[in-house]
Amino acid sequence: FQMDRTPESYLDLFPLDAIVYLTPDSENVLEDIDPDKVYVLGGLVDESIHKQLTLRRAREQSLQTARLPIREYMVKAPNSRNYHSETLAINQVFDILCTYYETRSWPAALRAGVSSGKGYVLPEAAEQ
């Protein structure tokens, strides 16, 4: 993958209507990757005191938002802590997006990127 680093903001580099801010709190489900869009992978943790921070930031900037389709393809796995989280690290989101782009399969992509420690599994894994 080619990467460029710049001190400029993505808001200055791309048209607002081309930017999709990925946040686990979005109401919009990412159904496919649009090559004409720019996807922003947040660098903030929304799990604790910063709940919905990335969603608020995207709304303040008038950006489209989307979340990965974890709820649509995965189920909550029983666990001793009753812990379930859709908040992922940037590298996990990147791996999921890359796998989806290559396979066009959300189950394959989510299997590759969502660790069992998040409390979600694919339905066939839950049946075992």
Domain assignment present for 126: no
pLDDT at 86 over 90: no
pLDDT band, very low/low/confident/very high, at 48 (cuts 50, 70, 90): low
Domain assignment present for 5: no
Mean pLDDT of the chain: 88
Give which of 101, 9, 12, 27 is closest to 64, Cα–Cα.
Answer: 27
Domain assignment present for 109: yes
Mean pLDDT of 103-128: 88
Domain assignment present for 99: yes
Given 12, 17, 46, 95, the catalytic residue = 46
Residue 103's Cα: distance from chain center in Å?
17
| Domain count of the fold of the chain | 1
Q: CATH number of the domain that 87 lies in?
A: 3.40.1280.30
Domain assignment present for 2: no
Mean pLDDT of 93-106: 96
pLDDT band, very low/low/confident/very high, at 36 (cuts 50, 70, 90): very high
Domain assignment present for 1: no
Could you read off the pLDDT of 66-84 as tens digits, one per residue? Answer: 999 999 999 998 887 888 8
Boundaries of domain holding 55: 10-121
pLDDT at 102 over 80: yes
pLDDT at 44 over 90: no
Active site residue 46: yes
Domain assignment present for 28: yes
Mean pLDDT of 74-95: 87
